[in-house]
Structure 1
Amino acid sequence: MQFRYLGDSGLKVSELTFGNWLTHGSQVENDTATQCVRAALDVGISTFDTADVYANTQAEVVLGEALKGERRESLEIFTKVYGPTGPKGHNDTGLSRKHITESINGSLKRLQTDYVDLYQAHRYDVETPLEETMQTFADLVRQGKVLYIGVSEWNAQQLRDAAALAKELKIQLVSNQPEYSLLWRVIESEVVPASRELGISQIVWSPVAQGVLTGKYKKGQELPEGSRATDAKGGAGMIARWLKDDVLDAVAQLEPIASDLGLTQAQLSLAWVLQNDNVASAIIGASRPEQVTSNAEASGITLEPEVMSRIEAIFDGLAETDPSKTQMPPRREV
């Protein structure tokens, strides 16, 4: 396992982060989830990403239990705040001082830790002043509950505004967590250049497009039993946008390239994401420990320019590149 610095900080993270969105506490039984975490540790993954909203707090609980007994100093534990985790009351969401303060306290208890290495604003809050949000984050840093600050799915201007306040408050805004894969490249034209300028890294989610880029879904064939595409708890809704004939035709063309390199399609897709020097880590999920072990082999792979060109030509015209597609939450009802 290789490691990269997160933003302009001195914090190193593993090139692959183990994430438990859509799995722990919902899609995968707790004992299997723990086995996946153990597999991640065995292959050298030290970075773990979750969020309070995943499985309505249960993903944090499962991760906390799975990491119990590990040397805390050897881990980087990330979580997020924004979405509702309680009865969805009027202060149960967003990035207000009240919600952030209550959320970090809950996350620390569930994760069984005194601090998180990275606390991320899960989405931009259009209704709370950014100054309030950043001041609250700064207070958490000074209290020792949070070491570094990150965000998720923020656009270039939002990153610039937050970075300016972080500098003024003397805290480190080091990361953004966007969706990024061969099929979803909306960060490349604006977010990545701004991030390089600001000293911010990307920790990318869905680098294999919810599993589509692994090649497990074939045009004209039944969906694999037990796959994310058959998960009625959330996975099926997310992956449906990629289960189209033109996308599946393109994905099939990755197979001979991967084979020539001695890689699986998942490893090839992960390696492609990691060629972007602004990506500090790619988040992998798993429903079985052997998936973690296999995907970990993508770390440290260098793809030659000719291979990169072949891969990207396959998805020319299919990949989404519009920077305005950066995910934004709707206005909250009062």
Structure 2
Amino acid sequence: MSFSERVYNVWDYFKLQNVNRKLFSKSVEICKELDYGDACDYIENADKTASLVFMNRNDALHYPLPLMPHVISVEGFFLENPKPLDQHYANIIEKAGKHGIIVASFGSLFRRLWPELRTIFAKAFAALPQTVIWSYEGPTPEGLGNNTIVSNWIPQESLLNHPATKLFVTQCGASSSFQALHYALPVIGVPFFWDQPFYCHKLSHRVKSGQTVSLEGITSKKLQRAMKEVIENKTYKANADRAAAIYHDQPIPPKDKLVYWAEYVIHHKGAPHLRSQAANELNFFQHYLLDIIALVCCVCIIIGTVLVIITKKVILFIVSYQKDKYD
């Protein structure tokens, strides 16, 4: 990372810590209002007392991270085996022919888009030779092309799994990002908020299976060029295939891993032996080794001071000796 990216990363870390504190505080407040008693204390200290922490991450997508033994990655455990497409969508794909289809979905929160943005998407989709299946609800967008099919619900995983799908246009939510990884699809990421810029950055910069188009300054032409580039440049698809191979190369399926570790905790009546006591008990100065650094600095200063004094004494002695000798 560049210096500016590292500064932003530190800022984002402390901002996220603050958000987490507020969420835990609100959870404890609700718990006490409902009079759940001692359970509220467990919520307040969950990050320090939880036997296990399940994380939705995978090395194919995320950067390497040092994790404690009680932190378990269960990447994409929510993915289902896609069902066969019904006749309606099968006919759409058949009519799409050699150009194939594009799946566009921005999650449940963004099925409705403001007028300017839905027009931008509609015009960009209309300029492509592929058939676009767009998960969208609301007024018909201005400039909607004959090649674009809008529906307030689509069989997303079944469509993503189909070999005719050439591109996935997504907001890069956690679920959508893992679907793109799982089904080895090139992506165009259009992040809206929260963790979506993070996942878009991972897909476009780490996996290199697509491009990110920011909402700031987005135009139909810019979006169209990005989609055309990702579809026609086979490097993106090759990178998606490589990342999918890494993602799937696991010793145990994510769902089985989740069940195993949950049963492990039940079997052992908790798993405090997996948690680091030091991580929870060290204060700020100990955690960042500031006390050790201070000690080393003090020792170096003392040694340096002593050496300077000794050197000064030796020099003065030599000068005095030489002076006395010639006198």
Task: State the structure with more CA Rg.
Answer: 2
Q: Normalising by the residue count of structure 2, what TM-score does the alignment of the two structures yield?
A: 0.23
The structure with more helix, counted as a fraction of residues: 2
TM-score by length of 1: 0.23
